[in-house]
Amino acid sequence: MKSPIRLWKKGAGAFLSLLLVGAGAANAGAPAYIASQGTTSVAVVDTATNTTTATITGTGTRNLHLSRDGQRLYSMTPNAMQVVSTATNTVLASVATGNNVVAVAQSAHGYLYVCNNASGTVSVVDASTYAVTATLPRPCQSVVSTPDGSQIWVSTFGPSPTFTPTMEIYDSATNTLVSSFTVPSAPIWFAFTPDGAYVYMTQSSSTVRVFRASDFSLVAAIGVGPNPTFVEVSPDGALAYVANLTGNSVSAIDTATNTVVATTPVGTFPRALAFTPDSAYVYVTNFSSNSVSVIDTATGSVISSFATSVRPWGIVIPRSADADGDGV
């Protein structure tokens, strides 16, 4: 698939002029949820205007995750996962799972998988009752579901004393380990292409590695900035964006060629990022700048930056503009 950046290089300049008239005009109704570690709250930002329309208090210190239907926001705090209704912006439940909750994934079978990093466990939570139904003793770093929800992938450092960086794959219908493979250096975060064919993984070696999901073979090793943390693949599958934490930049990877096509300076300590539903823009949280940068994926340039709450961390934007399913 051709990336927007490469299309721009072929001369689609007129399109950019329309985009710059109103960076979020095509995304009206797509909210960005931004967690603030400093205020333990989540800001709801209208991506059409980049203004805050609501604040959800008492939650949102770290990463965020949206349910498949967009009706629930899952917020990670040091010792719990909190469940928020996106229709009312209210906290519905707080689920104690373990210490240092860093990631949540949702299966196709009505369960959530919560990575408790300091506890060395993955909690399995019923998404309808919020009851913890199982605890997997895994020293996890992050957890992600395949796009169809049939598998849960867990990045671990492996058991003591070797602590070998490993990816583990679980059948989400049975919670059983079906496969695993080792990786060259510590896996930090990872994301699937929309078709589930490939997985992009940030690693501590300033590298993004691309694996074929069907047989776990290494497809590419891509050099990016220092301390890459978060990675996300665009909804159209054309680009993978990587937040380089200590490089104060993000790298754009063309998924057709697995090459870096843009490196964009942003604020200080970029923590996480999210695409708008049309893949036209990327929103990047700058943890130490207390700001969010908006990048035009057609040019790889920052077109807007706005202040947010203290120490912004996680950010999610629904893949559909109608986040809460109300038809508006």
Mean pLDDT of 73-97: 95
* Look-up of token digits 């998404």: 127
CB-based contacts of 16, cutoff 8 Å, min separation 6:
8, 296, 298, 299
pLDDT at position 157, please?
Answer: 76
Whole-number Å distance between alpha carbons of 48 and 130 = 33
Structure confidence by residue, pLDDT tens digits, 196-244 = 999 999 998 899 999 999 999 999 999 999 999 999 999 999 999 999 9
Q: Residue 226: inside a domain, yes or no?
A: yes
Question: What 3-state class would DSSP assign to 256?
Answer: coil
Choose the most confident range, by mean pLDDT, from 4-13, 133-142, 221-230.
221-230
Count of C-beta atoms within a 10 Å radius of residue 182: 10
**Mean pLDDT of the chain, nearest integer:** 88
pTM for the predicted model, two decimal places: 0.89
pLDDT at position 19, please?
Answer: 40
Q: Would the pLDDT of 126 be above 80?
A: yes
pLDDT at position 1, please?
Answer: 43
Q: Would the pLDDT of 20 be above 90?
A: no
| Total domains in the fold of the chain | 1
Question: What 3-state class would DSSP assign to 191?
Answer: strand
Q: Residue 272: inside a domain, yes or no?
A: yes
Looking at residue 193, its amino acid is T
- Closest Cα to residue 239, out of 295, 177, 305, 310? 295
Q: Would the pLDDT of 10 be above 50?
A: no
Q: Residue 241: inside a domain, yes or no?
A: yes
179 vs 184, higher pLDDT: 179
What is the enclosing helix (H) or strand (E) of 4?
helix 4-9
Mean pLDDT of 73-82: 93
At 160, the pLDDT band (50, 70, 90 cuts) reads low
pLDDT at position 294, please?
Answer: 98
CB-based contacts of 64, cutoff 8 Å, min separation 6:
33, 35, 42, 73, 74, 75, 76, 314, 315, 316
Mean pLDDT of 294-304: 97
Mean pLDDT of 55-74: 92
Structure tokens at 172: 């989400």
Whole-number Å distance between alpha carbons of 8 and 31 = 26
Residue 4 phi, psi dihedral angles, 5° rounding: -60, -35
Q: Residue 169: inside a domain, yes or no?
A: yes
In contact, 107 and 133? CB cutoff 8 Å: no
Whole-number Å distance between alpha carbons of 52 and 46 = 6
Q: Residue 328: inside a domain, yes or no?
A: no
Q: Would the pLDDT of 25 be above 70?
A: no
Whole-number Å distance between alpha carbons of 110 and 112 = 7
Q: Residue 38: inside a domain, yes or no?
A: yes
Q: Residue 65: inside a domain, yes or no?
A: yes
Structural domain range at position 148: 4-289+303-316
Q: Would the pLDDT of 109 be above 90?
A: yes
Looking at residue 201, its amino acid is M
At 159, the pLDDT band (50, 70, 90 cuts) reads low
pLDDT at position 42, please?
Answer: 95
Q: Would the pLDDT of 22 be above 50?
A: no
Q: Residue 297: inside a domain, yes or no?
A: no
| CATH code assigned at 254 | 2.130.10.10
* Look-up of token digits 């995304």: 27
